[in-house]
Structure 1
Amino acid sequence: MDQILSDAALDRIFRESRTHRHWTDKPVSDVVLEAAYDLAKMAPTSANCSPMRIVFVKSPDAKERLRPALSEDNVRQTMSAPVTAIIARDLEFYELLPRLYPEDPAARSWFAGKPKAIESTAFRNGSLQGAYFIIAARALGLDCGPMSGFSNTKVDAEFFPDGRIKSNFLCNLGYGDRSALQPRSPRLAFDEACSVL
């Protein structure tokens, strides 16, 4: 019989988890952040390219560096979150393919000098890895508040000035104040979003 996660685990990761905007003051340890990354890195990317890079913004000084990039509606929730993860992508991910994808020694050549292939592969796979990271963080007991609503240009200038790494989205992390949650927004039903051919 196939092994599946318990209902409690599925509730924690999907059914009962919510996007949080209000946080308790319980800190998030670096050990938990590393454990979440170590889970997320195991999920698939094309040719194991693994372009996601994360900057965990925790200190008051680092939060202040992030503040000018935030849209007005996202300042309070981000500044009060114990951690804000900048989920980004490395545009030179292909330089690591000889180590990450040893089954094809020519894999680097699929991307070197090909900016469209680099960008589409980095963005797609970095986004996938960002989603895997949210699932991993939830599985380890963290609440997440992923968001757009910031200036990628400002974040990149402040945190990735050499241009090699580009931000994708932000994800606030911590232990959410469940008393502040709004009712869950509706989702599409299977037959509205899916087809089986």
Structure 2
Amino acid sequence: MPDTNVTSTERLDDTALDRLFRRARTANAWQDRPVTDETLRQLYDLVSLGPTSANQLPGRFVFVRSPEGREKLLQAVSAGNLEKTRTAPVTAVIAYDPQFYEQLPRLFPHADAKSWFTGKPEFAERSALVNSTLQAAYLILAARSLGLDAGPMGGFDAKKTDELFLAESGWKSTMLINLGYGDHSKTFDRLPRLGFNEAAVLA
């Protein structure tokens, strides 16, 4: 079988780095172009490969794209995010499963990791929130790697979103990410970033 490990000496070329970071922008307007089921499955498959603590994989994803789903979601979206969400081909509701640790005997079989979280709801929720947020970041990068654009948003009513989409599963939403093919004629210029010496320390 071929060696699937990527060595630390391998580096993405400038085209890939531009796509993922340097030329990428948050999308606020969208082309009238659908995102296929196959692309969404490829997107999740990539996200699932990203590392999480003890392979917890607490992130859960609802890809909203039907007219009925869209109308429901718009009930929970803040006014400033309505139009970009209304016109996005897909909106991913990023959530976490508070009972993620029930899957750990399968996902992390070489230790009794389930016992680390059982009966410790605050610890479990903290871990679920941190690691599902990490998975949300993977989703943005995976989307860009597949030729999609992404627009993450925090302006929404999480409680209402949970009631509309997650009541049966018990999952808890944390953010929304619009997905599709951005209308780059309406993309904003990049805003300032903090420099290395302002945000990083060599210790």
Is 1:34 aligned with 2:41?
A: yes
Equivalent in 67, 71, 84 of residue 64 of structure 1: 71
Aligned pair 1:177/2:186, yes or no?
A: no
SS at match of 2:49: coil
Sequence identity, in percent? 51
SS in 1 for 2:33: coil
Q: Distance in 1 between matches of 2:122 and 2:12?
A: 39
Query: For each residue in 1:35-94, what CA deviation from the matched residue of structure 2 results, as whole angstroms up to 9, or x when unmatched?
Result: 111111111101100000000001101001101100011110001000000010000100
Name the structure 2 match of 1:136: 142
Q: Deviations over 1:127-156 (max 9, x none)?
A: 001101110111110000000100001000
**Aligned mates of 1:43, 1:160 — CA distance in 2:** 24
Q: What secondary structure does 1:41 align onto? A: helix
2:4: which partner in 1?
A: none
**CA RMSD of the aligned region, Å?**
1.0
Task: Tell me the equivalent position of 2:62.
Answer: 55
Give the residue type in structure 1 aligned to 2:81.
Answer: N
Q: Which of 12, 35, 39 in structure 2 is aligned with 1:5?
A: 12
Separation in 2 of the partners of 1:41 and 1:82? 22
Give ranges in structure 2 of 5+ residues lacking alignment: 1-7
Within 2, Cα distance between the matches of 1:179 and 1:52? 33
Separation in 2 of the partners of 1:33 and 1:83?
9
- In 1, distance between residues paired with 2:127 and 2:116? 11
For residue 81 of structure 2, the aligned residue among 58, 61, 74 is: 74
Q: CA deviation at 1:164?
A: 2.1
User: 88, 92, 95: which is aligned to 2:95?
Assistant: 88
Alpha-carbon deviation of 1:163? 6.5
Task: Give, in angstroms, the shift of residue 162 of structure 1.
Answer: 3.8
Partner of 1:69, secondary structure, is: coil
- The amino acid across from 1:124 in the alignment is V
1:116 aligns with 2:122: yes
Counterparts of 1:40 and 1:184 in 2: how far apart (Å)?
Answer: 26
TM-score, structure 1 as length reference: 0.97
From 12, 23, 29, the counterpart of 1:16: 23
- Structure 1 residue 107: deviation in Å? 1.0
Code of the residue aligned with 1:9 in structure 2: it is: A
Q: Residues 116-135 of structure 1: CA distance to partner in whole angstroms, max 9, x if unpaired?
A: 11110000000001101110
Q: Say if 1:156 and 1:163, in contact at 8 Å, map to a contact too.
A: no
How far the C-alpha of 1:113 sits from its partner, in A, is 1.5
Distance in 1 of aligned mates of 2:194 and 2:133:
22
Runs of 4+ in 1 over 4 A off after TM superposition: none
Corresponding pairs, count:
196
2:193 aligned to which of 173, 178, 187? 187
SS at match of 2:75: helix
